Structures are given as structure tokens and as C-alpha cells.
Amino acid sequence: MKHASTIVALISTLATPPLHADEINCTGQTTIEMRYCSSKELSKSIKQLEAKISNETLVEWKSISSKVCKEAYAVYKKGSIYPQMLSRCETHLNEALLNETRGLGEN
């Protein structure tokens, strides 16, 4: 009986189908989906910044925006939501910078 919980945990893990990127639902139903979608949005915003600012500036920007977000969300550091909060924060800062780099008439 002392191994029953371990066996149940193992069986439930085996019964869960693997999660593939094409099966991700970005409406955010699970923590895994929310984290994946947040990281996907962050990657997208970084790619957009790569086209707008120099590599040197981008490296500095990523460093400082990461520090700012870590400080802003320090209260969540021990929680499971922390990585998602950081990712979303960095994405929002990237989007703000992208808005500032757009010329007149650009969307």
C-alpha cells in the first residue's frame, strides 16, 4: 500500500497523451498552454524588435526589461504563475518599444 500513490501517479502520467505544439490552445486553459502562449508571444515581439533596433541595443533592452519585470513581479517569484508573468511583462515592454519605433502611418 505504501507504493500505491506512486503507482497511481505513474499511471496517470502514462495515460496523459503528450502535448504537441500544434495541440496548444492559446485561449489559456492550462498552465502549460498559458506559459507556451506567453513565450510564443514574447518570441514574436523579439523578432519584431530585431528588425527595428540594433543587435547591441536589443541585448541591452532584453537585459533591462528582464530585470524590470523580475522586480515588478517579485511577489510572485515562488508561484507557478511567475514565469508567465515575466514573459507577459517583457512582451508588453517590447510592444511599447515597438509602438515607439513605428513611423507615422505605420500600424
pLDDT digits (tens, 9 = 90+) for 29-55: 788 888 888 999 999 999 999 999 999
Full-prediction pTM beyond 0.75?
A: no
Percent of the chain with pLDDT over 70: 72
- Tally the domains of the chain: 1
* Residue 3 is assigned to a structural domain of this protein: no
Residue 87 pLDDT more than 70? yes
More confident residue, 102 or 67: 67
* Residue 19 is assigned to a structural domain of this protein: no
The pLDDT assigned to 46 comes to: 97
Domain that residue 78 falls in: 24-101
* Residue 46 is assigned to a structural domain of this protein: yes
Comparing 10-14, 21-25, 56-60, the range with the smallest average pLDDT is 10-14
DSSP readout, the chain?
Answer: -TTHHHHHHHHHHHHSPPP-GGG--TTT-SHHHHHHHHHHHHHHHHHHHHTTS-HHHHHHHHHHHHHHHHHHTGGGTTSTTHHHHHHHHHHHHHHHHHHHHPPTT--
* Residue 1 is assigned to a structural domain of this protein: no
* Residue 2 is assigned to a structural domain of this protein: no
* Residue 4 is assigned to a structural domain of this protein: no
